Amino acid sequence: MNKKIKIFLGGYVNFPNAQNVNCDNIARYLDKEKFEVHTMYTNKKAIDKKVYKDQDIHLHKLIHHRFIWYWSKYLTMLLGNYDVYYLPKVEKTDKRFSQKHKNKICISSVEGVITESTNNTEQFKDYYIKDMTSFFSISNCIADSVKKYWGIQSEVIPLGTIPIGKKVDEKNKLKNIIWVGNVKANKRPQYLVNIAKTFSNLQFKMIGDGDMLEDMKKICMSENINNLRFYGRIPNSQVYQEMEECDLLLMTSEYEGLPKVIQEAAQMRLPSIYINENYNVDFITDGINGFAVSDLETMQEKIQFLLDDPTTYQKMSKAAYESIQPYTWGNVIKQYEKYFEKIYEKSQKMGVL
């Protein structure tokens, strides 16, 4: 293919959440010989534009105002006249644009598992099936749920993780535990508070904000839980720094997709324990590089097991690091490039453009 594909990545690269970080990573790793890359940033957060310019990434400002936000993004999408629009955030703007401009190639990714009570609405389904030109799932677990509830086979393209550019020291024993996510009901942050209360000999970090954060702080104060520190929302680079000081990641969510934080933790040699009530993590092999548990009680049992058996913990830490290497962006980005090229070429042949 001689012509560069002009692609719009519909995230805000300087505002840390899962879809935005993914768009930022994709923008950085896409082959600039094949793609002309465009994405957005919000004027509410600091950004080093030179870093993006040096990587041949075109930035567009999102004006962070409730009356202007919608049109700021919509007009950027319209006036850019891009070949491909990757719209993973499922925002009102994305939906309206794709509905109004059926001649545009709009792609999205299903990033949360579908259950009887989660992501199981006609509106959510229609976004992917009717509004998008094409979509993919970011994990086998999600693809299975798409097949079960929507009756559609979807391609699986995992999220990537950025390789750590320095040597990460090997872990010896369990001392510090970290939790990362939105502090809201479906993430069940109260589970971490309960665990911190049970394991007063360990130190805990909660990273993230949300409508339950203040309640969690109040519980810790009222119950004299002094071994849990709250960090709020911090830049992704700082998350890595905090992980480096920790030994284990806990995931207490009711449901997830392909939890990027588990990938990031594995890069820092942290095994993970997650509750597999409604989902499974593709790259976690139970008992090898982490644990998939059914409930809070079993999660606490596994923490105690790793405390009592440092040798097993050390093996699990090493396995976590080794198992995540195929998921680094340098490897995963090739799948994204092939997918974007495939959908673009298919649409050309069908006369969409």
44-76 pLDDT, tens digit each: 889 999 999 999 999 999 998 878 889 999 999
Reply yes or no on whether the pLDDT at 352 is more than 60.
no
The pLDDT confidence band at residue 16, using thresholds 50, 70 and 90, is confident
User: Same structural domain for residues 265 and 230?
Assistant: yes
User: Same structural domain for residues 103 and 185?
Assistant: no
Would 168 be classed as within a structural domain? Answer: no
User: Same structural domain for residues 156 and 238?
Assistant: no
Q: How far apart are alpha carbons 326 and 337 in whole angstroms?
A: 16
Burial zone of 164 (CB within 10 Å; 0-12 exposed, 13-18 middle, 19+ buried):
middle
User: Same structural domain for residues 338 and 308?
Assistant: no
The CATH number linked to 243 is: 3.40.50.2000
Return the minimum-mean-pLDDT range out of 143-147, 219-223, 348-352. Answer: 348-352
User: Same structural domain for residues 107 and 22?
Assistant: yes
User: Same structural domain for residues 337 and 322?
Assistant: no
User: Same structural domain for residues 147 and 48?
Assistant: yes
> Helices 260-267 and 310-324: crossing angle, nearest 10°?
110
User: Same structural domain for residues 345 and 269?
Assistant: no
Q: How far apart are alpha carbons 179 and 259 in whole angstroms?
A: 12
Q: How far apart are alpha carbons 151 and 220 in whole angstroms?
A: 45
User: Same structural domain for residues 11 and 124?
Assistant: yes
What is the total count of domains within the chain? Answer: 2
Q: How far apart are alpha carbons 179 and 208 in whole angstroms?
A: 9
Q: What percent of the chain has pLDDT over 70?
A: 98
Q: Which domain holds residue 155?
A: 5-160+329-350
Would 96 be classed as within a structural domain? Answer: yes
Would 165 be classed as within a structural domain? Answer: no
DSSP character at residue 169: P
User: Same structural domain for residues 12 and 30?
Assistant: yes
Would 167 be classed as within a structural domain? Answer: no
Looking at residues 134-148, what average pLDDT do you find?
Answer: 95
Return the minimum-mean-pLDDT range out of 70-79, 90-99, 277-286. Answer: 277-286
Would 169 be classed as within a structural domain? Answer: no
User: Same structural domain for residues 334 and 316?
Assistant: no
Report the pLDDT value the prediction gives residue 1, as an integer from 0 to 100: 54
